Every structure is written in C-alpha cells, then in structure tokens.
Structure 1
Amino acid sequence: MVTGRPGGLVRALVVASHFPPTVMVTAFALALSAGIGAGARTTTLVALAVLAGQLSVGWCNDWLDARRDLAVGRADKPVVAGLVTPGVLRAAAFVALGACVVLSFATGVVPGAVHVVAVASAWSYNAVLKATWWSWAPYALSFGLLAVFVVLAAPGGGRPAPWAVAAAALLGVGAHVANTLPDLEDDAATGVRGLPHRLGRRASTVLAPVLLGAASVLVVLAPPGPPGATGWALGAVAVVLAVAAGGSGVARPRSRAPFALSMAVAGVCVVLLVLAAPAVVLAG
C-alpha cells in the first residue's frame, strides 16, 4: 500500500529504480556520447534511452524480487516497507521499457536494436539468470552492448574499438560480483545462487576488484599511443584500490570495505573510459 505522505510514491519509485547505479550508467553513456562528439541531439537521445532502460530494469528487479524481499524482511526495499505495490512496479517497468524502445530507435535502427537487446539481456538476469551460474553473462553482454550502442548512435558511421567493448564487459561483470556482496546471505536464503554465491564470499570479494582492475588497466594500455600522465595516474589508483579491496576481502570477508573499494575501482574505470572516448571510435 502506498503511504499518504506527499511524494511518497515518487520517493518509492526512485528507491526501487536502484537509483545510484541507474544514475551512474546513464551518466557514463551521456559522457561517453559527448566525448566521442556525437552532438547534442544524439547525446540527449542516448542519455534518455539509457535512463529509461535502467529505470525499467530497476523496477523490474524489485517487482520480481518482491516475494524474496518480503521473505527476508528487506526493510530497505519500498515493497517491504509498504510504500509501493509489486503491481505498480510492474506497470512502471513496462512503461519505462516502452519509452526505452522508442527512444532507442530514435537514434537509428541498428543502434536502437543493439540497445534494446542490451536491456532485454538485463531483464533476463532479473527473470531467470540471476539464480544460475550464468548470472554474469547478462552483465557482460549488456555493458558491452552499451558501448556499442553509444558509438553506433553517433553520426559518422564509426564502429567501437574491441578493447572498449571488452573493458565495458569486464566492468559489468566486476560490478555484478561487487554488487552482490552486501546481500549474499539474504539472496542464498531465498534460492538465488548466481556465480558470486556459488564461488563464496571470500572468492567473490577478490574476484570483483580483479575484474574491475583488469578493465581499468585495459583502458589505460589498449588505446593507440602511449598513455598520458592522467591515464597512468588513474590506472595506478585503480590497481591500488583493487589490491586493497582484494586484501581486505581475504582478511575480513564480511566487511563492507571490499564492496566500497570495488565500487571505487568501478568509478575510476568509468572515468578512464570517458577520458579515452576519442579512441573508442574506429573509422567505419
């Protein structure tokens, strides 16, 4: 039941959208599109399409997870707190998905199809794959395709550099592993056993920063020409943070430090990708 407080439903929808990652992914797409010189119109369409897609994924997740969240008393979830119903989240998810499809194809048929596949992949995680060994696959596919979408949407007929797609895929898988760390036990108690759950907390707290650190190193070293001073500095920061995250994960697996440090590595990787934007596009 939705509370009667002013703005209660809006706040519930914002929280249920998984707001921080939604904003981060949208900002990444917007910055990358601007960085490759896509132009104001295309960059705006890309950002709006990605925002709509991320909102649909977040609302779909909380709608489909409502029973599990209620079972373990996840009070941080708006459905458990009684702020919104699963039915409202389902309706919001499909409205956002429809908007995502329209906005995506407004950038062109091919880039639009690429982004719709990326969002469909994320929905497949929510619906089925999150409880299997293949939980990592939608993250790898969706993040990799996000880079492809941004490049193909830009005028000029360019194509994405393979290293950029690979780095985005590594970023996605690393973020997936890191994102599960705070909820491993709650997830396992309700039958969700994705790759991080099957590997165990200790292994996952090491794997997440390793993947994110590898993505950062790839972005520093793969573009043509020697890395600049900023690239070297940020790459070094990413490696130090990754080592710290892995070390703290081995020493104190139940600490929140590995998660926080892994998210910091992900942030550095995103910055590196945006800074490398001119090298992301290859001539068609």
Structure 2
Amino acid sequence: MGSSDSASTRSWLAPRTLLVPAVVGLLFLLLPLAALVARVQWTTFWHDITSPQALSALALSLGTGAAATGLCLVLGVPLAILIARSRSRAAAAMRALVTIPLVLPPMVGGVALLYLFGRNGWIGGPLAEAGIPLPFTTPAVVMAQTFVALPFLVLAVEGALRTTGTAFEETAAGLGASRWTILRRVTLPLAAPGLVAGVVLSFARAIGEFGATALFAGNAPGVTQTMPLAIYTAFNGAGVAPSTAVALSVLLLATALIVLVLVRGWRAGGVR
C-alpha cells in the first residue's frame, strides 16, 4: 500500500509537453560539461595537473579553502544559532542579510572587501599603519573565500536547527543542564546534518571562488593564484598551458561532483 502510494506520487501528472523544455534545460546544463571533458588531453592529463604551477595553485586552493571553511565554522555556527533562535522578524532580517553574498556579484564583493580592508579602508587603514597589510596577500584569499562561502554554512545549519525546534533544548534546561552542555550535547548533534552539509558546500564554494579573490587578493603565483585564477590566466595566454587549464577545470568539476555525492549520501543516511 505504501509503495503504491509512493509510486503514484512520483508519476508524471503534468502536461507531457513540458518534457521537451525540461530535457532541453537538462541538456543545457550537462552538454557544456561534457564538452569540457571531451577537450581533456588524457595523454598529458596527469602531467598537466602535476606541473609546478598547477600544484601550486591546487595546494593554495585547498589550503585557503580549508582555512576559510574553518573560519566559516567559527563565525557561522553562532550566527546560525542566533538566527534560528531569534523572533521571526529579526530572524527574517538577519537571514536576508546573510543571503546577500549569494546574490551579489562576486566582483562587487571583492570591491567591498577592498574598501573595508584596503589601505584606505575603515579597518585596513589602521592595520596598514600597524604594518599588517591585508589586500593581495594569502590571508586576503581566505577572507574573500569566507565572504562568499559563509552563507552556505549559516543557512544550512540554521535550517536544520529551525526544523528540530527547541523542545529538546528546553527539556535539557529543565533537567538542569548548563547552556554550554545544551550546546554540546543537544544543539550541535541535532544540527549535525546541516552542519556537515554546510561544511562541505562551504569548502566547495571556497575553492571555486574567483571574482572576489581576483579583486581583493590579486593573482600572484604561489601567493594568491588559486585554481580558478590559474585557469583564467591560462586561457588568457599566460601562466600554465591551456591543456593544464582544461585539466584543472575537470579537477574542479570532479571536486563538485564529489561534494554533491557526499552531501546526498549524508542526507540519505539521516533520513534512514
């Protein structure tokens, strides 16, 4: 009975003519990726992704991406809890503010970071006078990645907490648990599915960041040139070879697919 209901729920009840634009839309998303994979020179693929320039860009992307993800955890989890446990109007306002980097063009984000942390910025000016310049350094890469990746973690964790509600936390408080105990033993375990999904998505977004990084951190090989910047440089005729740019593009594509598989597997395990 249950399987029959499930099958009927999944049956196609919309007009069949919608299948045509649906298939076209799917192909529109998949065919460019297929064309990218088709351009890979497999005989030199391993050499391309292990060239000194490619390894430098890969190592920088992974290192700064991991650092940005850690920063997202430190800042994002408290912010997600604040939003999830605030009153509806305040929560809606904060959620809208957190969403801005998702819809903001990355280049605009880079300009905003530059005006805040640049030598003449509100924060960057005093830091520069103290001998701590931020723009066009490796920490600037981490900051740009954090700016664009933080909303993914905040929204994922906040959504998980909002779904679970506060009943378990209130019960633990009634039994005498301290606030830190409730956070460690109740709140974070309940938010675990959203937390894992947010971490994975934040990391994937961080290593794929381009626009904000280019404007705020620059494109210095070994210092701020991440994989997206190395790919852009190669296709403009400088730095690594075009074949390496294609190979790195496929590497980023593979990373995105792995991320989707991990998130889907975690959610499926949670449902069971």
Q: What TM-score, normalized by structure 2, do the two folds share?
A: 0.32
Larger Rg: 2
Structure number with greater CO (CA < 8 Å, separation at least 6) is 2
TM-score (norm 1): 0.31
